[in-house]
């Protein structure tokens, strides 16, 4: 168990899926978790926060639009006003608009880059000064194996995740002198509501590419995130941790 008692953590894209599981996992390690997502997801976001509190842990939620710098800054300011500190940022919010490059519209490319990459840049920028003053911070970006290897039909998504890895390394170099680490987690094929609906033959095709012979779980991703947020990972920065079952071995 990694001890995070006394830490305030902000998790974007926490209304469902991997972000929801990360929020629960951080709270179980003692962190006060602030769940963040779009105003349109407020009901789901509130449910996540209430479920965490039902376990006797600390949680809250704040609404923010990753496409809007003022909205992101306001969300961070709200957290600081309420809790007086912000120690951990997990940039998990993301969208996918899959289509072959020759058929993809420019606005579909821009949207994915703006949410997945620029959104993470905006939140990281918004929390940086506070973490620098504290001289302690953890930033974890949720990248993807496709950002390392590419994938047909995902030129926008793969670009955003590859860019996120580059952003991770740059933030790590810029903030390391203030005891702030920045790392990425690159999941492979993860079992989610979306993948559950895929035909069995498609799932079988995925698992054949994975040496461990199974799709990963959101819990697998959350375990890596919690480690990177802990004091035990204090000498790890600028790294991209693969959580892909051996599908890609850099």
List the catalytic residues: 157
Q: In this predicted structure, what is the pLDDT of residue 166?
A: 98
Q: Which of 106-115, 164-173, 203-212 has the lowest mean pLDDT?
A: 203-212
Comparing C-alpha atoms, which of 172, 24, 43, 6 is closest to residue 92? 24
Assigned CATH class of 8-190+219-237:
alpha beta
Tokens coding 234: 């204090």
Q: In this predicted structure, what is the pLDDT of residue 197?
A: 67
Q: What is the pLDDT of residues 26-78, one digit of tens each?
A: 999 999 999 999 999 999 999 999 999 999 999 999 999 999 999 999 999 99
The whole-angstrom separation of Cα 31 and Cα 58 is 7
CB environment 169-182: b (16+ within 10 A), e (fewer): bebbeebeeeebbb
Residue 80: which pLDDT band, with cuts at 50, 70 and 90?
Answer: very high
Q: What is the pLDDT of residues 194-239, one digit of tens each?
A: 677 667 887 788 899 999 999 999 999 999 999 999 999 999 999 9
Sign (positive or negative) of CA dihedral 9, 12, 15, 20:
negative
Q: What is the pLDDT of residues 4-34, one digit of tens each?
A: 999 999 999 999 999 999 999 999 999 999 9
- Provide mean pLDDT across the span 128-154: 97
Which residues share a beta bridge with 59?
33
Alpha-helix runs per DSSP H in the chain: 17-28, 42-54, 69-83, 106-113, 119-134, 146-149, 155-175, 193-196, 200-207, 218-229
């Amino acid at each position: 168990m990694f001890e995070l008692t006394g830490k305030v953590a902000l998790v974007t894209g926490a209304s469902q899926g991997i972000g929801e599981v990360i929020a629960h996992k951080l709270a179980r390690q003692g962190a006060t978790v602030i769940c963040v997502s779009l105003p349109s997801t407020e009901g789901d976001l509130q449910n996540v926060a209430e479920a965490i509190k039902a376990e006797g842990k600390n949680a809250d939620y704040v609404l923010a639009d990753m496409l809007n710098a003022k909205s992101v800054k306001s969300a961070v300011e709200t957290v600081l006003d309420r809790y007086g500190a912000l120690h951990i940022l997990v940039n998990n919010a993301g969208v996918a608009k899959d289509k072959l490059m020759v058929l993809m519209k420019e606005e579909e490319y821009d949207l994915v880059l703006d949410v997945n990459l620029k959104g993470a840049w905006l939140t990281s920028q918004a929390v940086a000064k506070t973490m620098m003053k504290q001289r302690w911070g953890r930033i974890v970006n949720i990248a993807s194996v496709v950002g390392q290897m590419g994938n047909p039909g995902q030129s926008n998504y793969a670009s955003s995740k590859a860019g996120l890895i580059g952003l991770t390394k740059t933030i790590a170099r810029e903030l390391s002198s203030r005891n702030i680490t920045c790392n990425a987690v690159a999941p492979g094929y993860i079992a989610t509501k979306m993948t559950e609906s895929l035909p069995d033959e498609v799932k079988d095709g995925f698992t054949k590419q994975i040496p461990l012979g199974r799709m990963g779980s959101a819990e697998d991703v959350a375990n890596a995130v919690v480690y990177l947020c802990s004091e035990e990972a204090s000498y790890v920065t600028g790294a991209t941790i693969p959580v892909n079952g051996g599908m890609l071995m850099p």
